Structure 1
Amino acid sequence: MIFVVERSGLTQEAFEEFAGQAQRVEEAPWLEFLNGKPAFKVRPYGSRGRIVEWLTCPCAQADQGNWLFAAQGLRVGTYRKGNARPDGVLAPLDTFVGQGEWAGPDGVLMVVEVTSYDEDTDRRDRVEKPRAHAGTGIPAHLLIDRDTCEIKVHSQPDGVRYEQVVTVPYGKTVELPDPVGIELDTEPLKNWVR
């Protein structure tokens, strides 16, 4: 579930200070600042969290120098005026060393979003976040859509959007393009939808 908070005059710097304090609270939501607006995003738990954990294994097995980071915030640049916190960020192990909570997207190979069952999913997970990630040049955006039981692999960013989107239903194998280079069997995802 994502809650959008409207507040005029909130700067990115003020948001980051607030977000840093809020993250120290146990069970605090993840905070994002997209398109100049703060939003609260519930952390992945239950089946949604299990999907991120499941995806960690094939990512690490394909290249032991990479890791799927589950809580890394990213600066998404001027295109979206702020920060995003994907459900997963695939990058080489030392990519975020010394960068803190909100890191630059350099070195990121893929971001992962797992849809939640709320009213903001369509706008944020299916529209805004792929555009924001393409705007930073992140090579791949993986959307695991639990509403439609499909995987969408976005690739070939042009600085505004991903030029290629491959959609496959759960149960099929999908190729995550280079630089990820993983063939992913999506059969287990059938276990984590309602």
Structure 2
Amino acid sequence: MTPDPYTQKLLLDWFVDLETPEGFRAELVEGDLVLTPLPDGHHEHCISRIARQLHLRSEIEIQFSGNKGLKLNSAAGWAQDHVVPDGTVVARAPRLFRGAPPWMPCEGVTMVLEVTFTRPEIDRVTKRRCYARGGIPHYLLVDREACSTTLFSEPEHDDYRRLSTAAFGKPLALPEPFAFDLDTADLL
């Protein structure tokens, strides 16, 4: 059941002012409060390896931000999702992060990165819908349970029309503006 606009506004106001418990991060995803503990070392290793490749191998200069809050269009009946990707990548907008508020709109974001952790279905399904609705061109998912990396592209409504998956250890082709094969061997 979708709450009325007044209740939605109260929920959003409460969320924005929320003091997250120490050791957690908070997101508002399709009307649900999601509290996630701080990640483990392997999770951070995956992010670090991908960020390094993006900086060194992309054909153009990119910006990478870990844990940047994004405001996205929400599912029918909800005002906005407030999602924190493990990585937010910007290409061709060199100053997008400069002066951005803690929860910035997703316009200009080229790709988001998620590495599965305690609740992988949120990354596999729920956030995938959120990022597609937000029109983010590329969503890179490192699925540690499945030992694979998937690139979703061509967002349309609540999903992406294209996906390409590579098992850990196999290269995953990243399209323009990155234009290189992501080495996933170090994600094992």
1:77 to 48, 73, 78: 73
**Identity over aligned residues, as a percent?**
28
In the alignment, structure 2 segments of 5+ residues that lack a partner are 1-6
Counterpart contact for 1:155–1:177, Cα < 8 Å: no
Q: 2:69 is aligned with what amino acid?
A: G
Task: Show the counterpart of 1:102.
Answer: 103
CA distances 1:89-113 after superposition (whole Å, capped 9, x unpaired): 1114421222221111111111111
CA distance in 1, matches of 2:112, 2:146: 19
Task: Show the counterpart of 1:28.
Answer: 23
Count residues in correspondence: 175
Following TM superposition, by how much is the alpha carbon of 1:38 offset from its aligned partner in structure 2, in angstroms? 1.1
Task: Show the counterpart of 1:154.
Answer: 152
Matched residue SS, 1:138: coil
Task: Show the counterpart of 2:179.
Answer: 181
Q: 1:145 is aligned with what amino acid?
A: D
Counterpart contact for 1:110–1:180, Cα < 8 Å: no
Q: Is 1:113 matched up with 2:109?
A: no
Task: Show the counterpart of 2:167.
Answer: 169
CA distance in 2, matches of 1:95, 1:89: 11
Q: 1:90 is aligned with what amino acid?
A: V
Q: 2:167 is aligned with what amino acid?
A: P
TM-score (norm 1): 0.82
Which structure has more RCO (C-alpha within 8 Å, separation ≥ 6)? 2
Counterpart contact for 1:44–1:87, Cα < 8 Å: no
Q: 1:109 is aligned with what amino acid?
A: T
CA distances 1:59-118 after superposition (whole Å, capped 9, x unpaired): 1121563122111011121336321111111114421222221111111111111011x3
Counterpart contact for 1:142–1:153, Cα < 8 Å: yes
Q: Which moved more, 1:94-103 or 1:106-115?
A: 94-103
Matched residue SS, 1:106: coil
Q: 1:43 to 1:178 in 2, by over 3 A?
A: farther
Counterpart contact for 2:81–2:130, Cα < 8 Å: no
CA distance in 2, matches of 1:107, 1:144: 22
Counterpart contact for 2:68–2:84, Cα < 8 Å: yes
CA distances 1:133-171 after superposition (whole Å, capped 9, x unpaired): 011110100110100101111001113210011111111
Q: 2:55 is aligned with what amino acid?
A: A
Q: 1:95 to 1:44 in 2, by over 3 A?
A: farther
Following TM superposition, by how much is the alpha carbon of 1:45 offset from its aligned partner in structure 2, in angstroms? 3.2
TM-score (norm 2): 0.85
Q: Is 1:51 matched up with 2:21?
A: no
